[in-house]
Structure 1
């Protein structure tokens, strides 16, 4: 991967997931998954998330919908936490998960709503005090 692609991917990855998450991922990288970490930094974070066509909040909601519909609960929780950084609101996430219920199935949406409640708990609307 070239330096500009890697730098852009890492910048976007940190913006979306936060420094703490990315630092943990980097610290736990071994020779077994280093090629995978390079791949996702370039392909996901630079080539897709780093494009200009959608803002980060919209990309975040699309990602939440896909992960929920596909049943990737662990990754879904990570991206639900990331919405604090992307600007997607709890109301937008709820609307997105209603679409998941209709087009991806009620069981997938039910699981996703449970993940949403685990991540945000009884947080007041508007997420006062979070960032």
Structure 2
């Protein structure tokens, strides 16, 4: 299997087939290079590596995306973290921990996005 195929498979397992299809619909001659980079390098090479499991990779992404204040990517990776076995309680503790090291405003924004994702999945009220 090529790194592109591996990447698409991992993205599908992580965020769902709908996510991959939605990404494909947005692809055009301008943005195809960044889509290929994401598929081949991010997911096809880095996410496919051994050494740490997908749940830990998801946790790392949530922490980094909180620090960088990237809510759109946060939504995707929260979905992935849940698919990779993170619990609501773990996500709450991870985000609380970011408040100390990333700052309260960043953590508050991340909590807000997480609440939307968790409510959408009916995991919280």
Please give the TM-score of this superposition, normalised by the length of structure 2.
0.91
> Which sections of structure 1, spanning at least 5 residues, go unmatched?
125-131
Large movers: runs of 4+ above 6 Å: none
Please give the TM-score of this superposition, normalised by the length of structure 1.
0.87
| Partner secondary structure for residue 51 of structure 2 | coil
Question: Is the contact made by 2:3 and 2:44 (CA closer than 8 Å) also made in structure 1?
Answer: yes
Question: Is the contact made by 2:55 and 2:84 (CA closer than 8 Å) also made in structure 1?
Answer: yes
| Partner secondary structure for residue 91 of structure 1 | helix
Corresponding residue of 1:34: 32
Number of equivalences: 123
Aligned pairs for 1:52-131 within 5 A: 52-121=50-119, 123-124=123-124
| Partner secondary structure for residue 88 of structure 1 | coil
Corresponding residue of 1:8: 6
CA-atom RMSD in angstroms: 1.6
Deviation at 1:47, TM superposition (A): 1.6
Deviation at 1:83, TM superposition (A): 2.1
